Structure 1
């Protein structure tokens, strides 16, 4: 009885591969099916309803609940219940809006600049917003919060455009040079703001602003923060365009995307969110740098699927730092910007070391 050779033998079904193990006598062994399922790493938590995302939501809700409960007033007393409505609930809403918006701003800027170490505080955007806020306070000391917000947003937009124009005209080989240039530009703008504040006796006000704090977030003084919610919703609608723009100008143009218009739209969104947050809260350093990088390291660079995670992580980080600042020296309060600066700088250095080890940093 003849048997087919190894070259002519084929499996009887496309889903079953024939594996022949011949012994010394030439007898064939039984066939066994081969598993054709993907063998690569499976994405974890990609779906919004995944258990990891639900766990993240639970952790965030616990932190927000602690933010409402923690304070010098008993929340269940008559005065405490009144204070919860005046300060704690608005403060918690401010933590949600500011944390989510600034984290998303960092993610957008990293995509548009194709650099993981870029965010509003490393591009000078927050310093420009502070300069605009200071100019409004000098020209119109009695200006409303809305006018201050418009001044901060306008200067933040102009400053961010200056940064993008500089990157477009200068060819940089090292990814570390980009945030260094942004920090240098921010330092120049910050020195101008300091000089103006010193000449107008507003240095203390400027120092409080740069510290960043949710102390002043009370009912009647935080409502403009709801504007950043509109920005966040718009980001979800144009997330795919930002993702394509992050592939580079040539690639984006080849698929029919107006790269310049997308960059202008992203700059406007970042300016609005930064200006509004800076007016109400102040500076939140490293938030837009640390959170998107941590999410991208775990989940990849798809903006649309990462946005919910970036929002959750931004809210959790800001809330945790705020709780730490409120409890570590109670009844006194350490500004959340100082806590974020300390935590963010440590994580930033760790990210640099990790990226350098992986060879992702060009020198």
Structure 2
């Protein structure tokens, strides 16, 4: 997939995103320095755009990493119990630390998402039958178990409505001073890029990696930590966005092959373009109201996932 087309699409969609909302803003308003329009732009539209770009790029890349280290193209934070574990971490923070800030909640989320992802990878190492469909089913089953425990305690402590608000991604509440944690994804993306070749080698198997002098367990653990951190940050800021980390790497892989470093930029750009497109569409369908981004991604992403599934069966 041509990077220049993705960059052009990203620029065009970013400009459109800034000028779409319940409050009408025109270029002439900004050029004439109208105070209320500039405040909306600075306090709401730009933070929202930055959050969408950060979420799209980092979630797509986390899916790419997870698919590489698990050696399965249908594994992602959604199907690998990472996001469900992070959601459980939110529940724990709400119950035990109700006055905790975003950063403290993110740390607790990270601990639980890391534990859930390591548990999934441990189960993955123990099973012998590693079919492309069977492996993500195990992750979905593990996620369902964690989700049922989550629902039980949420009901018991009467916070089920509170916890469900985190379950569906939504950028409508993004404003200045409530999104800055997304900047933590930047160093994580840099680290992921630096380890891209090692993730590619680890995807060839443990024995092959060792023969090339690669510390397989260390590389896999670094990948899991990056995925868990990204998932925690994004769930705290925008909520759960399913399918994004699953479908974007697969689409890029169809065009570019399996080399993670070569796919890194294309995957991150396409993730941002796709999420931005879904957000704009969600704001336009029932304008001036909007459909949550999580729902839009599920509707479009599920169709793409079914296509990928049937395509794999046919080939």
TM-score bracket, normalised by the shorter chain, equals over 0.9
- 2: CA distance, partners of 1:200 / 1:83: 37
1:68 and 2:18 aligned:
yes
5+ residue gaps in structure 2? none
- Cross-structure match for 1:326: 283
- Cross-structure match for 1:212: 169
Q: 2:210 aligns with which of 247, 250, 253?
A: 253
Pairing of 1:183-194 with structure 2 (within 5 A): 183-194=140-151
- 2: CA distance, partners of 1:224 / 1:53: 27
1:197 and 2:154 aligned:
yes
CA offsets per residue over residues 44-92 of structure 1, 9 Å max, x none? x6xxxxxx32121010111111111111223324322211100110000
Deviation of 1:173 after TM superposition, in Å, equals 3.9
Deviation of 1:215 after TM superposition, in Å, equals 1.6
- 1: CA distance, partners of 2:130 / 2:218: 25
Deviation of 1:279 after TM superposition, in Å, equals 0.6
5+ residue gaps in structure 1? 1-44, 46-51, 359-363
- 2: CA distance, partners of 1:170 / 1:317: 34
- Cross-structure match for 1:22: none
1:92 and 2:41 aligned:
no
Q: 1:290 aligns with which of 238, 242, 247?
A: 247
- 1: CA distance, partners of 2:40 / 2:13: 19
The structure carrying a bigger helix percent of its residues is: 2
- For the 8 Å contact 2:282–2:296, the answer to whether it is kept is yes
- Cross-structure match for 2:102: 145
CA offsets per residue over residues 250-295 of structure 1, 9 Å max, x none? 1101100010000100000000000010111111100011100000
For normalisation by structure 2, the TM-score amounts to 0.96
Deviation of 1:229 after TM superposition, in Å, equals 0.9
Q: 1:228 aligns with which of 173, 182, 185?
A: 185
- For the 8 Å contact 1:73–1:79, the answer to whether it is kept is no
1:302 and 2:240 aligned:
no
- 1: CA distance, partners of 2:211 / 2:36: 62
Local SS of the residue matching 1:179: helix
- 2: CA distance, partners of 1:64 / 1:324: 13
Pairing of 1:35-114 with structure 2 (within 5 A): 52-75=2-25, 76=29, 77-114=34-71
Local SS of the residue matching 1:283: coil
- For the 8 Å contact 2:22–2:288, the answer to whether it is kept is yes
Residues 194 and 101 of structure 1, relative CA distance in 2, 3 Å threshold: same
CA offsets per residue over residues 110-153 of structure 1, 9 Å max, x none? 11111000000011100000000110111111111100000111
- For the 8 Å contact 1:321–1:339, the answer to whether it is kept is yes
- 2: CA distance, partners of 1:154 / 1:182: 18
- For the 8 Å contact 2:87–2:235, the answer to whether it is kept is yes
- For the 8 Å contact 2:18–2:46, the answer to whether it is kept is yes
1:179 and 2:129 aligned:
no
- For the 8 Å contact 2:22–2:289, the answer to whether it is kept is no
- 2: CA distance, partners of 1:181 / 1:115: 12
Q: 2:301 aligns with which of 313, 320, 344?
A: 344
- 2: CA distance, partners of 1:205 / 1:331: 25
Q: Which has the higher contact order (CA 8 A, sep 6+)?
A: 2
Q: 1:238 aligns with which of 170, 195, 212?
A: 195
Deviation of 1:303 after TM superposition, in Å, equals 0.8
- For the 8 Å contact 1:74–1:81, the answer to whether it is kept is no
Structure having the higher Rg = 1
RMSD of equivalent CA atoms: 1.0
- For the 8 Å contact 2:77–2:83, the answer to whether it is kept is yes
CA offsets per residue over residues 137-189 of structure 1, 9 Å max, x none? 11111111100000111100000000000011111242211000100111111
